[in-house]
Each structure stands twice: as structure tokens, then as C-alpha cells.
């Protein structure tokens, strides 16, 4: 995973240099809305007035140390000593995001002039670097600066954020009670959150808040979960039945929504279900996954959509009830960061997305995925973000209801399905169209897509 380790003295110098670079860039980031270089990207077609829209961004992973240098092992701290492959102004596949890449994404979104109701932001602002290269203060500063960047591009837009597993120091170890990070981030997000939302966020990193549509008499409820409490590497929550009492709070909140006939969007960073790029592995601990699947099944009539990040890939899941009927649609958004490890065959191009929804019932109608061809952008020195696909057109379905996604998944199971190959190309955000997913690769994808609980998933894997 890493290149050869330097000696103690040179490592100390390198670490000091990394800290100085981080501090310098964090100061630079305080300068809001630096101009993003490159030609203006063509705006995506605006949606019809009768359709509601919202943005979803995830996994920005700013690496303030990113810079172009002849020594490709020192382009960025996030490569952990590995040779950057082809570093350019907008990044490299072995590095987390330079600020220029993040600016280009928000600039594109801003200049598209889409009529959006709100944005969801599902976490992970700091880079993937060794724990000793960050600190609580650095993590707070990065989250604060990413918040300021979003606010500078969208000063009047309602944003619903969620914390990621890297939005803490040490990474993954998010606590079950009040902390310096929870408090600082709640203050950053004060322009977006109600007092009640800030109160629960400061205690456990989660909240709920209503969004009042200008069209529907019924508001939409957003539930922002701190799924990092259930993340497998979080040692703080080992052997805790209900960390921060979030599960009880979730069930109570959904019960109130049921009584009030509300519709709910659930957002979070680490998704439920099984990881589609490996076998028999949930992102969160199995016990919590089973609990959440049970809760989401119980309240599937209330929940109109679920939205996550974390994996850096573009994937879809369909929650089934105990009789294998599709009852909920779940979406995992790809990352803005293009980073991959040296042992990974594939990565992702940077992506952001736009959802379209029924503004009366809040049912999901479509998904527009946009991306930046990183290789092309670096070569041309311009950030030409563009539409990658429109989900209903790409897969020939009417809308994003679970029954339609389930029928789509059935089409994917056909041997040598061209539709599935298209899905896999979208999964890696058009990283490399020559990569084919067959055999175990396809089995893992299809089982993860349709079966979120242990029993159904295990049966699917065994069937092959």
C-alpha cells in the first residue's frame, strides 16, 4: 500500500513539511470562493417547473498538500508515498482532491442555474492521510472551510449535511456523546440547521429537520443519521447496543412521521447493506445493519428515499420486505475525490448529482449524474464537467420507485447483459470502459443491490 518508508529523520522532516503545507492551505481556504480555472462547463438542461430538484455531493476529501512536483511520491500526502500516476491541476487518481477540483465542482453546479430546493452533503471533508498528519483542530478547520466554500457558492440554499467517518480525529472514532468536533461543526452548520437539530447534533452527530415545499401542504422530513457510530472500525462503539441512543431516536422519529403522514428522506455517510465490490461484507457492523434493515422495513411507507456516500462509487440498492417485495430505494453517490489505493484496479472520476422528485408526494422521479473526466481535464487544463447519464433513460425505467428499480435489477441478471455493463461503467464513474464485471464480480454486485439483510444476501451469494 505504501512506498518504501524513509528513515526517521527524513520522515520527521517530511511530516513537518506536510503540517506546514496543511496550515498554509487551510489559511488559503479562508479566502472564500477563489476563482476556479478552466472554461465554464456547459449547463445541464433545466428541469421542468413541475419537478422538484436537489443536489447531492459527497466525499470531497480535500488534500491541502496537493501540488505539482517532479517527485511523484511527494505530490500529495494522501498517496502515502506512492507515485502519483499523472498529476495535473485537477488532481490524480492516487491523491485526494486539490482545492481546484472542489471549486470546479461547485462552480459547475452554480453555473448550471438549476432550480433546486436544497442540497444534501453526505460527509468526509478531510483527506486519507496517516493519523499523525492530522489533528482535531485540522479536521475542524477543513470541515469549516468546505462549509464556507459551499456557502459562498450557494449563499441562499438550504443544505442538509451529514458527518462522515473522516470528519473526526482520530478518523472513524466518532463518539456517542458531546465532543469538540460535534460542537464546532454544529456552529458551522448553524445557518442551515434549526435549534432543535443543532441540539441533537451536538450530543450525537445526528438530527432531523423539516423542509417546507412551496408546492406541497405537507413538509418533507430529513433524517440525517450518524451511521459512523455503526462503522466497523469505530472502536468507541464496540459492544454498545444503541450508540448515542440513535436507533431509539430514529424509530421514534419515524413513528411520529407515520402518525403525521409525513414523507422522509434518510441521509447518512456510511450506507447500510453489503458492499458491492467484495463478498459478505457490510460497511457497518452486522448487528446494526440488521437493526436498521428491520426499522426501515417497518417504516418503508414513510421513507421516500435513502441517500449515502462513503464507498466513492455510484450504486443502487433496493430494500425488500420479508416476502422479497421491493419497498424502498437507496442510492450511494460517487465521490468528488478520485483517490484510489495502489492495490485497487479501478477508481472513479469525480462526480456530483441532481435528483428530481415529485414536489407534492416527494417520490423520486430521476437522477442526473454529472462527472469530470479527470485525465481529459488535466490534459486540457480546463474543468469540463458534463452529464454522464440520466438514470431513467440509461436503464429504460419510468421513475426511481423501488418496484421499477427491482425490475431493472432483474434485467441486469441476464447473462452478458449490456445494461449491467453500463451500470458497472457508471459504478466507477466512467473510469475505464474496458473493465468488465463478470463472474464473482457480478454476483457481488447483484446480491448487494437486492439483498440488504444477512439471510437473503447469504442465500444469494450461495446461489451464485
Lowest-pLDDT choice from 3-7, 339-343, 408-412: 3-7
Single out the residue of 348, 357, 278 nearest to residue 314, CA to CA: 348
Q: Rounded to an integer, what distance in angstroms lies between the CA atom of residue 428 and that of residue 334?
A: 8
The Cα 206–Cα 222 span in angstroms is 11
With 60 as the cut, is the pLDDT of residue 21 above it? no
Q: Between the CA of residue 390 and those of 348, 353, 401, 454, what are the distances in Å?
A: 18, 10, 15, 31
Taking the CA atoms of the chain, what radius of gyration do you get in angstroms?
Answer: 21
The pLDDT, as a whole number, for residue 263 is: 98
| Average pLDDT, rounded, for the chain | 91
pLDDT at 386 over 60: yes
> Rounded distance, CA 226 to CA 313, Å?
20
Judged on CB neighbours under 10 Å (0-12, 13-18, 19+), 215 is: exposed
Q: Span 224-246, mean pLDDT?
A: 98
- Angstrom distances, CA of residue 38 to CA of 90, 131, 175, 201: 10, 34, 41, 38
Q: Report the pLDDT averaged over residues 28-34.
A: 39
Residue 100 in this model has a pLDDT that exceeds 70: yes
Q: What is the 3-state secondary structure (H, E, C) of 74-134?
A: HCCHHHCCCCCCCCECCECCCCCECHHHHHHHHHHHHHCCCCCCEEEECCCCCCCCCHHHC
Per cent of the chain over pLDDT 70 is: 89
Average pLDDT over residues 179-184: 98
Alpha carbons 58 and 123: distance in angstroms, whole number: 6
Kindly state the average pLDDT of the residues 233-242.
98
Please give the grid coordinates belonging to residue 31: 479566502
Average pLDDT of 11-36? Answer: 41
pLDDT of residue 34 exceeding 60: no
Q: Burial level of 343, CB count in 10 A (0-12/13-18/19+)? A: exposed
pLDDT of 391 above 70: yes
Q: Backbone phi, then psi, for 7, in 5-degree steps? A: -65, 170
Which stretch of DSSP H or E encloses residue 379?
Answer: helix 374-380
Taking residues 331-340, what's their average pLDDT? 98
Count the neighbouring beta carbons within 10 Å of the beta carbon of residue 70. Answer: 6
Q: How many CB atoms lie within 10 A of CB 411?
A: 15
* Residue-level pLDDT at 412: 98
The DSSP element (H or E) to which 316 belongs, if any, is strand 315-320
Query: In 3D, which of 284, 191, 282 has the Cα closest to residue 234?
Result: 284
139-158 mean pLDDT: 98
Strands 220-224, 263-267: pairing is parallel
Q: Is the pLDDT of residue 50 over 70?
A: yes
d(CA 423, CA 331): 13
Q: What is the pLDDT of residues 149-180, one digit of tens each?
A: 999 999 999 999 999 999 999 999 999 999 99
Res 230: pLDDT: 98
The torsion angles phi and psi of 278, rounded to 5 degrees, stand at -150, -175
269-302 CB burial, b ≥16 within 10 A, e <16: bbbbbbbbbeeeebbbbeebbbbbbebbbebbeb
Q: pLDDT, tens digit, for every residue of 194-206?
A: 999 999 999 999 9
pLDDT over threshold 80, residue 15: no
> Over 90: is that where the pLDDT of 40 sits?
no
Q: Give the alpha-carbon dihedral of 283, 85, 337, 376, to 10 degrees.
A: -130
CA distance 378 to 380: 6
Look at 1-5, 22-26, 61-65 and tell me which has the smallest mean pLDDT.
1-5
Confidence (pLDDT) at 17: 44
| pLDDT surpasses 80 at 29 | no
Contact, 284 vs 232, CB < 8 A? yes
Each residue of 110-124: pLDDT tens digit?
Answer: 999 999 999 999 999
pLDDT at 109 over 80: yes
Does an H or E element contain 306, and which? strand 303-308
pTM: 0.91
| Set of cell numbers at residue 88 | 495535473
For residue 362, the model assigns a pLDDT of 97
Of 109, 108, 113, 72, the residue nearest 93 (C-alpha):
72
The pLDDT, as a whole number, for residue 456 is: 98
Give 263's strand partners: 220
Average pLDDT over residues 121-149: 98
pLDDT digits (tens, 9 = 90+) for 418-447: 999 999 999 999 999 999 999 999 999 999
pLDDT (mean) for 67-88: 96
Please provide the size of the chain in residues. 464
DSSP 3-state assignment of 274? strand
Distance CA 243, CA 173 (A): 12
Which carries the bigger pLDDT value, residue 258 or residue 212?
Answer: 258
Q: What is the DSSP letter of 178?
A: -
- Beta-carbon-side half-sphere exposure of residue 173 (alpha carbons within 13 Å): 10
Amino acid at each position: 500500500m505504501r512506498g518504501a518508508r524513509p528513515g526517521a529523520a527524513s520522515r520527521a522532516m517530511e511530516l513537518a513539511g506536510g503540517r506546514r503545507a496543511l496550515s498554509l492551505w487551510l489559511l488559503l481556504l479562508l479566502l472564500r470562493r477563489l476563482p476556479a480555472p478552466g472554461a465554464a462547463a456547459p449547463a445541464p438542461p433545466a428541469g421542468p417547473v413541475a419537478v422538484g430538484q436537489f443536489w447531492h455531493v459527497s466525499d470531497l476529501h480535500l488534500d491541502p498538500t496537493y501540488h505539482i512536483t517532479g517527485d511523484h511520491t511527494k505530490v500529495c500526502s494522501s498517496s502515502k508515498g506512492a507515485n502519483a500516476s499523472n498529476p495535473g491541476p485537477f488532481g490524480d487518481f492516487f491523491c485526494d482532491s486539490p482545492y481546484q477540483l472542489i471549486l470546479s465542482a461547485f462552480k459547475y453546479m452554480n453555473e448550471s442555474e438549476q432550480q433546486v430546493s436544497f442540497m444534501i452533503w453526505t460527509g468526509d471533508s478531510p483527506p486519507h492521510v496517516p493519523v499523525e498528519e492530522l489533528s482535531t483542530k485540522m479536521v475542524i478547520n477543513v470541515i469549516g472551510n468546505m462549509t464556507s466554500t459551499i456557502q459562498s457558492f450557494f449563499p441562499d440554499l438550504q443544505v442538509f449535511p451529514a458527518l462522515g467517518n473522516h470528519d473526526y480525529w482520530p478518523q472513524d472514532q466518532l463518539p456517542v456523546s458531546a465532543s469538540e468536533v460535534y460542537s464546532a461543526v454544529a456552529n458551522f452548520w448553524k445557518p442551515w440547521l434549526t435549534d432543535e437539530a443543532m441540539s441533537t447534533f451536538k450530543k450525537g452527530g445526528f438530527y432531523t429537520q423539516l423542509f417546507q415545499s412551496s408546492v406541497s401542504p405537507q413538509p418533507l422530513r430529513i433524517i440525517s443519521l450518524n451511521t459512523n457510530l455503526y462503522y466497523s472500525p469505530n472502536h468507541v462503539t464496540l459492544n454498545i447496543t444503541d450508540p448515542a441512543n440513535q436507533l431509539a431516536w430514529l424509530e421514534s422519529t419515524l413513528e411520529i412521521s407515520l402518525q403525521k403522514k409525513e414523507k422522509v428522506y434518510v441521509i447518512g455517510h456510511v450506507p447500510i447493506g453489503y458492499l458491492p465490490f467484495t463478498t459478505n461484507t457490510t460497511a457497518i457492523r452486522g448487528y446494526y445493519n440488521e437493526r436498521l434493515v428491520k426499522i426501515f422495513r417497518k417504516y418503508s411507507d414513510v421513507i421516500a428515499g435513502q441517500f449515502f456516500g462513503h464507498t466513492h462509487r455510484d450504486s443502487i440498492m433496493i430494500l425488500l420486505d420479508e416476502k422479497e417485495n421491493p419497498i424502498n430505494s437507496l442510492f450511494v453517490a460517487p465521490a468528488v475525490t478520485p483517490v484510489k489505493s495502489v492495490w485497487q484496479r479501478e477508481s472513479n472520476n469525480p462526480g456530483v448529482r441532481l435528483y428530481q422528485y415529485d414536489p407534492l408526494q416527494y417520490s423520486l422521479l430521476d437522477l442526473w449524474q454529472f462527472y469530470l473526466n479527470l485525465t481529459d481535464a488535466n490534459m486540457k487544463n480546463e474543468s469540463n464537467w458534463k452529464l454522464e447519464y440520466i438514470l431513467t433513460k440509461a436503464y429504460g425505467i419510468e421513475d426511481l420507485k423501488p418496484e421499477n428499480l427491482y425490475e431493472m435489477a432483474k434485467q441486469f441478471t441476464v447473462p452478458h447483459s449490456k445494461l449491467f455493463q453500463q451500470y458497472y461503467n457508471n459504478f466507477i464513474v466512467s473510469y475505464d470502459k474496458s473493465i468488465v464485471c463478470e463472474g464473482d464480480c457480478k454476483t457481488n454486485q447483484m446480491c448487494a443491490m437486492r439483498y440488504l439483510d444477512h439471510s437473503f444476501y447469504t442465500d444469494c451469494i450461495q446461489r451464485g
